[in-house]
Structure 1
Amino acid sequence: MTRPTSYLLTFATLTISVLAQSSGLQNGLSDAHIAAVVPGGAPYDAARRAYNLRYDFSPVAVTYPSTAEQVATIVALGNSENIQVVARSGGHNYIANGLGGKNGSLVIDLSNMTRVDVDVSSGTATIETGNRLGDVAFALNNQGRALPHGSCPYVGIGGHVSGGGFGFTSRMWGLTLDAVQSMSVVLANGTIVTASSNSNADLFWAMRGAASSFGIITSIDVKTFPTPPFATIYEYDWQLDYSSAATALAKFQEYVMTDIPPQLGAEINLGRGNSEGSVYFGLTGGWYGESTDALQSALAPFLASMPSANVRYSGNGTYISTIEALGNGIVNTNVAGPDTTDTFYAKSLVTPEGQPMTLEALEAFMKYLAYDGYASNTAWFMQFELYGGGNSFINSINVDSTAFATRSALFTVQLYASSSNYEPPYPEDGFTFLDGAVEAITSTMGDDWDYGAYVNYPDDRLNNAQSLYYKSHYTRLESLKSQYDPTGVFVFPISVQ
């Protein structure tokens, strides 16, 4: 029987149901010798804790498989007991989808599955999806290899690759999902299949951009890249009045549409100014060219339009030192200690390369930040991540080759606001502040502006979410969902329905 979208039974009801069927889920896990944490006591409370403390969900159990076969057993048990199942890789999902995004899900925590094997001759790596990004970078770097991915070392590779996977090397190497050659996937019926361009090709298409709605990835085979011979992280920052900040972002938008090198990764970082009416404006990124002199030459056309800046370089010239710099000194999370938590709301805005933001829209946006942002009772930042521009590998790929739907993006904007002390409760005006920031741009650009949103920065308050995340691909995704998950085993907020 197909589950309704509103499958939101209370935890108490589900607990009674599951305990009454003890011969089902719990006995099944025990018979399969699969480690699990069930309700009651400190281990369960720790296991169900979300990274974003705005959320407090109670799963029916948190399981810890060690093999793909055990993952398949858990999915089959969940399916047979009419319980929705969700994978947790790093646990950093912004709306706690790694806990199901609601009460009553069966969580498959993949943290015991951390194998990374590198075939040095071919450059192909097999990576289990319990790995976190820092640990992937560490293991690959030991073999002189690298992969495009984000900067937070604690983010899980499974969720990261499912929806995209952007980092400063992405203009040069692509998104993380672009490096994937095949996947081992557990389907809703508990079977294990290989998804690649030659095997289950339609599933492979869907898994690269919307994987969480279709199956659980237990491992990926990826193309890796030789570590660059030189790399550095650069930072320029200014305090600007809002009008100057708008002009500066407009100039940067013009600059990146020129013949900039693919070795240049960049983003504009915005934050609260040092006085009302002003904005912190930073340019940061990764450079994987020949030298800092070559970086300065590449940036010179934009910097010529800017006042003098504070300038910093990070790393010792090696690629792994830039990973460490971006991770606040952390690469290998296995020796770095536990991750932190936060209490926040986040939104995203994907701007189309063919319809750049106007100076009028940027003026409205920067003015909003300079006044409403200055007064906001949140700790906030906003990042304009450069996806497109001259020589971008991301946008060179045909949009219909994967489910990732925005191969014409110029920027993916992340808007992020934490509570003032990073702990609950979250202030109500934090929601309205970020909503207003997006509205300042979209309302000025007009109804025909073809913007989108990025599924790896999920927002469960977003109107028309499926259309903004998946664009023209959503109809095909719906059709494939009915084929691969007809009973709704993998359903969570913002999933393909």
Structure 2
Amino acid sequence: MRFGSAFLSLLVLCYTAIVVDADLISRLQGVSGRFTFTYPGLANYSAAVSPFNLRYSYQPAAVTYVNSVQQVSEVVKIGYDLGYNVVARAGGHSYAAGGLGGKNGSIVVDLYSLATMGTSGDGAIADITTGFKLGTIAGNLWDQRRALPHGTCPYVGWGGHVATGGYGFTSRLWGMAHDRVTSTQIVLANGTIATASKDVNPDLFFAVRGAASSFGIVTKTTLLTLPVPNSTTTYEYGWNLNINDATTAFQSYQSFSLSNPTPPELGIELLLAKGSSKGTVTFMLSGVWYGAAGGLDTAIKPLLDIIPQKPVWSNKKVGTYLDSLKSLAGGSLSVTAPDTHDTFYAKSLITPNDSTKQVLAPAQKEFMTYLANTGFDSKLEWFIQIGLMGGKNSAVNSIPSADTAFPHRNVLHLWQLYAYTPNSAPPFPANGFAFVDGMTDAILRNQPADWDYGAYTNYIDDRLANAEQLYFKQNLPRLKQLKAKYDPKGVFSVPGGVKA
């Protein structure tokens, strides 16, 4: 891929969206080994910069396709030398198009071909490069009857997922994905290939477990896997509730999450959606029981007993761990078909595991009133997931907050508030942002001014005020110091990241 200066000059004149940098192209042409890239003006560029969330249309300076950690190092060094922002793209599922830089003019390092996986110790230790998608990792581990905690969408890239979180229904039992990491290989801002572990660069090891995208490009993770459960039970219970009953049911879920010594084998979330008529809300409890068949009934009965009505519908299915993964993924873990896109806006909340700092009754009532009325009238489709991340017996809360950049170790619920266009295609309406903001506003304006809530980086919100503080909480000062040490020029700048 070599072009003369006349051709590059023509692109500078004709491609008005972003200026093509001849120095950058020349340097990229010198990267070693089998290496390809694209940039504005080439025929394959538009497909290369297609985002998951179609609200965005960022135009990187170049998209590079690497096949080795050495190539990652060389590309990062080029960005460092020429003053570019450099970002990694694994699955491309960033809510704010972080894999395209979150702005124009970045260098994208596409990790798709950096996909190798090996295990040792009968599968107890896994080495996973960051170009893999969750579906492939889960399927490969299942072949050895091993597993890791992670989310449910098979197309999500491992690199981004493990970099800043890795929450799923198994997290109460096994922790976050990055909690299983024992070592990482990472390319730093100046192109240096480094190791981060408990014993080697321990300060960097702290940073990469929860804020890795701000410190480098992780190319490989070494993790301790877990044996799969002998049995799983996927389940759902559903209601269509009026405002008063929905408010009471929410309080029941909150009280159950706080006071009941819930077994860690219970993965559960509350799902809220548009009701069947104005003034109502669809209220659903769903998840996976990772214990012995039949144990779900005992674990969830205390909650069902305090919901105002009997469920209108319910489903339970006992199967293998693989069955549960496929069910949560919509039927298959395969990632061979083209991925889908959406046009959406999402926010998050993380609430504290403290009975004195919970969502108060006025907030609950205003929230359910907003969903039942404004939510019903909205032309957008929407859902809200309120997962039990912490509470008693949760592995997430068993780790001290100072051990990882991910700071939320006294957590109760993780909220995702998500609205999307009915056909998943652009445009996203301007009033859609205010609609989703109204969901969180109904909670926040009824809580004390010093309420200790947070937000989750994997549900990134690039409109969020005070984002750094909400994402990293008490760990932010230390992360700022480490950013100054490892990336003082701000080579790795991503939406929701630690700023230089």
Q: TM-score, normalised by structure 2?
A: 0.94
Counterpart position of 2:424 = 422
The counterpart of 1:390, out of the listed 370, 388, 392, is 392
Q: Is the CA contact 1:247–1:359 (under 8 Å) kept in the aligned structure 2?
A: no
Deviation, 1:12, is 5.8
Deviation, 1:114, is 1.4
Deviation, 1:121, is 3.3
Counterpart position of 1:6 = none
Change (3 A) 1:153 1:46: same
Counterpart position of 1:303 = 304
**Which sits farther off after the overlay, 447-456 or 13-22?**
13-22
The answer to whether residue 338 in structure 2 is matched with residue 338 in structure 1 is yes
The answer to whether residue 385 in structure 2 is matched with residue 350 in structure 1 is no
Counterpart position of 2:415 = 413
Counterpart position of 2:372 = 370
Deviation, 1:483, is 0.6
Change (3 A) 1:21 1:117: closer
The counterpart of 1:273, out of the listed 275, 296, 299, is 275
| Match runs of 1:17-416 below 5 Å | 18-19=21-22, 22-24=25-27, 26-29=28-31, 31-121=32-122, 123-257=124-258, 258-291=260-293, 293-306=294-307, 307-309=309-311, 310-314=313-317, 317-334=319-336, 337-354=337-354, 355-416=357-418
Which AA in structure 1 matches 2:345?
Answer: Y
The answer to whether residue 447 in structure 2 is matched with residue 445 in structure 1 is yes
Q: Distance in 2 between matches of 1:252 and 1:487?
A: 46
3-state secondary structure, aligned to 2:446: helix
Which AA in structure 2 matches 1:479?
Answer: Q
Q: Distance in 2 between matches of 1:84 and 1:442?
A: 34
Q: Is the CA contact 2:20–2:61 (under 8 Å) kept in the aligned structure 1?
A: no
Q: Is the CA contact 2:233–2:296 (under 8 Å) kept in the aligned structure 1?
A: no
Which AA in structure 2 matches 1:207?
Answer: V
3-state secondary structure, aligned to 2:153: coil
Q: Distance in 1 between matches of 2:15 and 2:284?
A: 48
Q: Is the CA contact 2:20–2:39 (under 8 Å) kept in the aligned structure 1?
A: no
Q: Distance in 1 between matches of 2:35 and 2:67?
A: 8
3-state secondary structure, aligned to 1:248: helix
Q: Distance in 2 between matches of 1:131 and 1:168?
A: 20
Q: Is the CA contact 1:87–1:98 (under 8 Å) kept in the aligned structure 2?
A: yes
Which AA in structure 1 matches 2:84?
Answer: I
Q: Distance in 2 between matches of 1:190 and 1:296?
A: 54
Q: Is the CA contact 1:14–1:60 (under 8 Å) kept in the aligned structure 2?
A: no
Which AA in structure 2 matches 1:43?
Answer: N
Deviation, 1:360, is 2.0
Per-residue CA deviation, residues 154-195 of structure 1 (Å, 9 max, x unaligned), is 001111111111111110000001011110100011011110
Q: TM-score, normalised by structure 1?
A: 0.94
Q: Distance in 2 between matches of 1:243 and 1:425?
A: 35
What CA RMSD, in Å, does the superposition of the two structures yield over aligned residues?
1.6
Change (3 A) 1:145 1:122: closer
Change (3 A) 1:275 1:284: same
Change (3 A) 1:233 1:145: same
3-state secondary structure, aligned to 1:444: coil
Q: Distance in 2 between matches of 1:16 and 1:305?
A: 62
Deviation, 1:444, is 0.4
Q: Is the CA contact 1:166–1:176 (under 8 Å) kept in the aligned structure 2?
A: yes
Q: Distance in 2 between matches of 1:154 and 1:261?
A: 30
3-state secondary structure, aligned to 2:127: strand
Aligned residues: 482
Q: Is the CA contact 1:377–1:427 (under 8 Å) kept in the aligned structure 2?
A: no
Q: Distance in 2 between matches of 1:220 and 1:325?
A: 27
Per-residue CA deviation, residues 432-489 of structure 1 (Å, 9 max, x unaligned), is 0110110101110120211111011111111111011111111111110011011111
Q: Is the CA contact 1:52–1:341 (under 8 Å) kept in the aligned structure 2?
A: yes
Change (3 A) 1:83 1:229: same
Q: Distance in 2 between matches of 1:184 and 1:119?
A: 18
Percent of pairs with identical residues: 46
Q: Distance in 2 between matches of 1:143 and 1:70?
A: 31
Which AA in structure 2 matches 1:344?
Answer: F
Gaps of 5+ in 1: 1-10
Per-residue CA deviation, residues 235-281 of structure 1 (Å, 9 max, x unaligned), is 11100001111111111111122111000000000000011110000
Q: Is the CA contact 2:367–2:443 (under 8 Å) kept in the aligned structure 1?
A: yes
Deviation, 1:32, is 4.5
Q: Distance in 1 between matches of 2:20 and 2:41?
A: 16
**Which sits farther off after the overlay, 443-452 or 15-24?**
15-24
Gaps of 5+ in 2: 1-13
The counterpart of 2:494, out of the listed 477, 492, 495, is 492
Q: Is the CA contact 1:118–1:143 (under 8 Å) kept in the aligned structure 2?
A: no
